[in-house]
Amino acid sequence: MNVLVYSAAWCRDCREAKRFLQTHNIPHTEIDIETTPGAADEVVAHVGKRAIPQFVIDGRWVQPYRPGAGFLHKEMAELFGVTSR
């Protein structure tokens, strides 16, 4: 499974998303939209706005959080086939 994480250092939900992946030993590549040229444009092109974090799992874009609700632990655990903690 190839997992990309579009994020930024200042983003609280991004930190939670990366912590989830690390806790479950899910290999991933982080793409910081602030330091990677074109990364923010890539997010906008796929989701219509500059909304992070975003997971790209084997080419499929997934928003792992809900605005106002935070990171979707249960849904992401089911998606990755891991136990939610």
Q: How many CB atoms lie within 10 A of CB 55?
A: 23
85: pLDDT strictly greater than 70: no
pLDDT for position 60: 96
**Mean of the per-residue pLDDT values of the chain:** 94
End-to-end CA distance of the chain, in Å? 21
Q: What is the pLDDT of residues 20-61, one digit of tens each?
A: 999 999 999 999 999 999 999 999 999 999 899 999 999 999
Phi, psi (deg, nearest 5) at residue 3 = -120, 125
Q: Which of 21, 5, 3 is nearest to 57 (CA)?
A: 3
